[in-house]
Amino acid sequence: MKQYVYAFREGSSEMKPLLGGKGANLAEMTRIGLPVPGGFTITTEACIEYYEQGNMIWDDLRQQIGQKLSEMETEMGHQLGEVKNPLLVSVRSGAVVSMPGMMDTILNLGLNDETVQGLANTSGNQRFAFDSYRRLIQMFGDVVLEIPKYKFDSLLEKKKTEKGAASDTDLVAEDFMDLVEAFKKVVQKETRKPFPQDPQVQLMMAVEAVFKSWNNPRARVYREHNDISHHLGTAVNIQVMVFGNMGNDSGTGVAFTRNPSTGENKLYGEFLVNAQGEDVVAGIRTPKDIEEMKNLLPEAYQQFKEVAQLLEKHYRDMQDIEFTVNRGKLFMLQTRTGKRTAQAAIQVAVDMVEEGLITKEEAVLRMNPSDLDQLLHPTFDEKALEEAALITKGLPASSGAACGKIYFTPEEAVNAHARGEIVILVRNETSPEDIEGMVASAGILTAKGGMTSHAAVVARGMGKCCVSGAGELNISEQEKTMKIEAISLTEGDFISLDGNTGCVYHGKIATREARLGGRFVTLMEWADDLRKLKVRTNADTPRDSAKAVEFGAEGIGLCRTEHMFFEENRIAVMRRMILSRTEDARRKALAELMPMQRDDFVAIFKVMGDRPVTIRLLDPPLHEFLPTAEADIQRLAGELDVSVSQLKETVRELAEVNPMLGHRGCRLAVTYPEIYEMQVQAIMEAATQLKREGHHVIPEIMIPLIGEIKELQYVKELVLKVIRQVGNDTGETVPYLIGTMIEIPRAAITADDIAKEAEFFSFGTNDLTQMTYGFSRDDAGKFIKEYRDKGILEKDPFQQIDRRGVGELMKTAVKLGLESRSDLKLGICGEHGGDPSSVEFCHLLGLDYVSCSPFRVPIARLAAAQAAIRYPS
């Protein structure tokens, strides 16, 4: 019989896939002798099985839960539902990959109208017992019975107002007794059933609610945003309750072993006296700095500090720890790898190498390459910041700078984002329902909640700027206003958030480019020493090329020459060239374009120094350069001195039914050789000029969209003719390479022929994916999401190389290509060149380089190093 339920003492951290992150770590802490309240875990397999059984807890599972519960009861010496001295448990979800705030927790399960009296008697504290009971009804009502939370919250607020209580700690036992009665009425009214009194029934309902919450919409959105599979399931942890709300010698807290925002090596966290965990995480009361625990509960603090250090050493990584102090005694409730900003991740990784805790390889493997993106973007300009109008200051919950229009609900944030606006989501506090609004926002501002509030944790995970707990703000989500003293801002007004300082400013603030110093450089140097793949960039302007070099690009892998023709003064000449009726007229226009294109190449070569530069000859269908708006057509007709109807006729002639498979790439050169002739002349003259200036340039001329060897032979011949011509005219010989893109399946399959003529291959995986799947790269977005939701595609093949199909063609091309030419240079320049998984695949194929957009260069460098560590050759 399959085991679906494990006591904590039966597990270990190795069993994470089965026990989930929380369960495995509770088991591990138990195993190494830390003070963990007893409990057991229902496995992720049980959750999957629950769905397979048609959303039902089957008999065997019910029995296994009962068995572990009674073992736990024997150990504890009292039972769930026991009237005199009831055992109470918490029920918490715990997926394999931590999903903060996405799954729900139920505390104090086991309380009912009778056991609450027992708890009051054994604890000698009526207030505590009834506070615990009202919390159970509230959480159970929200999570299991799906009653809107505010129905309970508003009653609590009302009670506090009635009693003139500033905080819940000011309420007394009778107040909680009233609240229990009022909450039970809410349950009766909303569900037409009383609050379940039988603890066994409470337990099974809670377990089922955790299983169900795996598939609630916000969990799905979180998983999609974080690329987590929908098929993993969650585990359920059932654990004996310990209480932080037993008086002033009790409390609860959350702490990181290092600062998750900056990476500083200092215990960092929050603590509340006389409270349960929910109060800290939900931001209901503003917690105190963990340092203050030193004065309030000195012994527990000292013990906690030691345990925190021990856990960090044990796991060899920064930990995020939850704990409770029950009448002076410390209990560990959770430890997990702490989520951190990219800046903190780098600092922690580099520091831990220097502390001798991990190796350089481990440090490199610890960074999620995509997270580097956070570091490469601008921060506020210091000068502009000095003059900015500070509105208020909150907590620096997640670093970065964001500047945008304020919106007060997640729906409005999503809508504004869809309209193309940059959004700052402003909330009193966020909850898991806000997740889509957070995804759509550039920054998040909350009035309530601390550094570990939902907003803070989720924003850090997303790499978004967040300021939390800006308590002076008066936010009305209904009126869509935020006010502070004389300032009143409404929906659509601009504010700027500084996630590094917690400052909130009025209006927009200028930003400055990111400065990448210190530990970033150190980590990237380690990555560079480890990787095999070279990293180039896709760039077609000197500015982008310079940026890419700054980010570590080792050459240009794709210079798309067509982009150079879109500039103001060029597009008119280009259009004239395209609309020419005769070769002569076309050559005239091309002669005007040639010096412009040559100057572009000169500028790019200069920026790139001795680094290789691959220039691709014209690729897109020509109609892309033509005007579509009526006013533009009329202006162009005037410039060309043709009638509007004549021009429209020509535009119509050029239009194609399926332009992506039409007259583009090398096919343009077959029909209009003079276009490529002009481009090759510009490249070679530019290279000659650089050579005369003492530089060492080897242009790599790339011919796109080859599917047939004879196409390549034809175009190569005309390229060579121009190269010879430029050589004769200038009296200089400049070295060069001629190669092709592999972006048509036929080219991949016949790569042995193609390599006879090509000195290099560059995989154009955008087109190769389009043509292998038969998905239009411009339209597929419309259905790929649906494909992913329905499990037909796990990943978007335009973002991550489809190894099974497209990858197989690449493998064939590499093998056949090298058979014909052993020194064939191999690279990739499709969008996949900056995707970590695809970079890994390119490493496995043995390519020489990947090429990606400038901002992805560091990501590719790191991903290449990780691939080399994971798959040494």
Active site residues: 454, 829
Which one of 233-241, 315-323, 395-403, 764-772 is the stretch in contact with ligand PEP (CB under 6 A)? 764-772
Closest to ligand PEP by CB, 392 or 765: 765
Choice from 410, 764, 797, 807 touching ligand PEP (CB under 6 A): 764
Choice from 560, 563, 588, 788 touching ligand PEP (CB under 6 A): 560
Q: Least Å distance between CB 655 and ligand PEP? A: 19
Helices (H), 194-268: 199-213, 217-225
Q: Least Å distance between CB 32 and ligand PEP? A: 51
Binding footprint of Mg ion, residue count (CB under 5 A): 3
Which one of 460-468, 667-675, 763-771, 782-790 is the stretch in contact with ligand PEP (CB under 6 A)? 763-771
Closest to ligand PEP by CB, 455 or 780: 780
Q: Is 425 in the site for ligand PEP (CB under 6 A)?
A: no
Q: Least Å distance between CB 626 and Mg ion? A: 20
Closest to ligand PEP by CB, 87 or 702: 702
Q: Tell me the two tokens of residue 453.
A: 């509030």
Q: Is 834 in the site for ligand PEP (CB under 6 A)?
A: no
Q: Least Å distance between CB 571 and ligand PEP? A: 18
Render 389-429 in DSSP notation, one character per residue: EEEEE-EEEE-SEEEEEEESSHHHHHHHHHTT--EEEEESS
Question: Phi/psi at 532 (nearest 5 deg)?
Answer: -100, -35
Closest to Mg ion by CB, 330 or 618: 618
Binding footprint of ligand PEP, residue count (CB under 6 A): 10
* Helix (H) or strand (E) segment spanning residue 158: helix 150-163
Which one of 233-241, 759-767, 812-820, 864-872 is the stretch in contact with ligand PEP (CB under 6 A)? 759-767
Q: Which of 380, 394, 386 is nearest to 502 (CA)?
A: 394
Render 707-732 in DSSP notation, one character per residue: -SHHHHHHHHHHHHHHHHHHHHHH--
Length of the chain equals: 873
Sites for Mg ion among residues 833-872 (CB under 5 A): none
Closest to ligand PEP by CB, 412 or 767: 767
Q: Return the number of other C-beta atoms located less than 10 Å from residue 796's C-beta.
A: 17
Closest to ligand PEP by CB, 711 or 743: 743
Closest to ligand PEP by CB, 576 or 832: 832
Q: Is 428 in the site for ligand PEP (CB under 6 A)?
A: no
Closest to Mg ion by CB, 141 or 830: 830
At what angle are helices 173-191 and 126-143 packed, to 10 degrees?
20
Q: Least Å distance between CB 761 and ligand PEP? A: 12
Single-letter code of the amino acid located at 623: H
Closest to Mg ion by CB, 492 or 781: 781
Q: Which of 752, 759, 785 is nearest to 703 (CA)?
A: 759
Choice from 131, 434, 767, 802 touching ligand PEP (CB under 6 A): 767
Contact in structure between 101 and 223 (CB atoms under 8 Å): no
Q: Tell me the two tokens of residue 502.
A: 């917690």
Q: Is 766 in the site for ligand PEP (CB under 6 A)?
A: yes
Q: Which of 552, 549, 542 is nearest to 604 (CA)?
A: 542
Closest to Mg ion by CB, 21 or 707: 707
Binding partner at 558 among ligand PEP, Mg ion, none, C-beta below 5 to 8 Å by kind: ligand PEP
Displacement of CA 855 from its chain's centroid (Å): 15
Q: Least Å distance between CB 750 and ligand PEP? A: 18
Which one of 6-14, 512-520, 630-638, 762-770 is the stretch in contact with ligand PEP (CB under 6 A)? 762-770
Displacement of CA 756 from its chain's centroid (Å): 43
Which CA distances in Å does 627 have to 442, 638, 647, 845? Answer: 34, 13, 10, 42
The interface mask with ligand PEP, positions 372-401, x = CB under 6 A, is ------------------------------
SS3 call for 7: strand
* Helix (H) or strand (E) segment spanning residue 438: helix 435-440
Binding partner at 830 among ligand PEP, Mg ion, none, C-beta below 5 to 8 Å by kind: ligand PEP
Q: Is 619 in the site for ligand PEP (CB under 6 A)?
A: yes
Q: Is 743 in the site for ligand PEP (CB under 6 A)?
A: yes
Sites for Mg ion among residues 110-169 (CB under 5 A): none
Contact in structure between 289 and 256 (CB atoms under 8 Å): no
Displacement of CA 145 from its chain's centroid (Å): 32
Choice from 61, 332, 535, 558 touching ligand PEP (CB under 6 A): 558
Binding partner at 120 among ligand PEP, Mg ion, none, C-beta below 5 to 8 Å by kind: none
Binding partner at 765 among ligand PEP, Mg ion, none, C-beta below 5 to 8 Å by kind: ligand PEP
474-476 and 481-484 strand pairing: antiparallel
- Rounded-to-5 percentages of helix, strand, coil across the chain: 50, 15, 30
Binding partner at 39 among ligand PEP, Mg ion, none, C-beta below 5 to 8 Å by kind: none
Binding partner at 110 among Mg ion, ligand PEP, none, C-beta below 5 to 8 Å by kind: none
Render 448-469 in DSSP notation, one character per residue: S--TTSHHHHHHHHHT-EEEE-
Q: Least Å distance between CB 681 and Mg ion? A: 23
SS3 call for 820: helix
Closest to ligand PEP by CB, 81 or 745: 745
Q: Least Å distance between CB 557 and Mg ion? A: 13
Q: Is 765 in the site for ligand PEP (CB under 6 A)?
A: yes
Q: Least Å distance between CB 705 and ligand PEP? A: 8
Q: Is 745 in the site for ligand PEP (CB under 6 A)?
A: no
Vertex 77 angle, CA 73 and 80, to 5°: 45
534-538 and 556-560 strand pairing: parallel
Sites for Mg ion among residues 736-775 (CB under 5 A): 743, 764, 767
Binding partner at 560 among ligand PEP, Mg ion, none, C-beta below 5 to 8 Å by kind: ligand PEP
Closest to ligand PEP by CB, 375 or 768: 768
CA–CA separation, 194 vs 186, rounded Å?
9
* Helix (H) or strand (E) segment spanning residue 186: helix 173-191
Phi and psi based region of residue 567 (left: phi greater than 0; alpha: psi -120 to 50; beta: remaining): beta
Burial code (b: 16+ CB inside 10 Å, e: under 16) for 282-292 equals bbbbbbbebee
Closest to Mg ion by CB, 502 or 764: 764
Choice from 94, 244, 432, 830 touching ligand PEP (CB under 6 A): 830
Displacement of CA 777 from its chain's centroid (Å): 23
Choice from 89, 397, 829, 839 touching ligand PEP (CB under 6 A): 829
Q: Which of 785, 619, 588 is nearest to 706 (CA)?
A: 619
Task: List CB contacts of 528: < 8 A, sequence separation 6 or more.
Answer: 552, 861, 865
Q: State the distance between the two ends of the chain, measured CA to CA, in whole angstroms.
A: 43
Q: Is 540 in the site for ligand PEP (CB under 6 A)?
A: no
Q: Tell me the two tokens of residue 166.
A: 């500033």
Q: Least Å distance between CB 560 and ligand PEP? A: 5
Single-letter code of the amino acid located at 140: F
Binding partner at 829 among ligand PEP, Mg ion, none, C-beta below 5 to 8 Å by kind: ligand PEP
Q: Least Å distance between CB 662 and ligand PEP? A: 13
Which CA distances in Å does 5 have to 41, 42, 46, 90, 226? Answer: 6, 4, 8, 16, 28
The interface mask with ligand PEP, positions 785-824, x = CB under 6 A, is ----------------------------------------
Contact in structure between 338 and 320 (CB atoms under 8 Å): yes
Q: Which stretches of the chain bind Mg ion, using CB under 5 A?
A: 743, 764, 767
Q: Which stretches of the chain bind ligand PEP, using CB under 6 A?
A: 558, 560, 619, 743, 764-767, 829-830
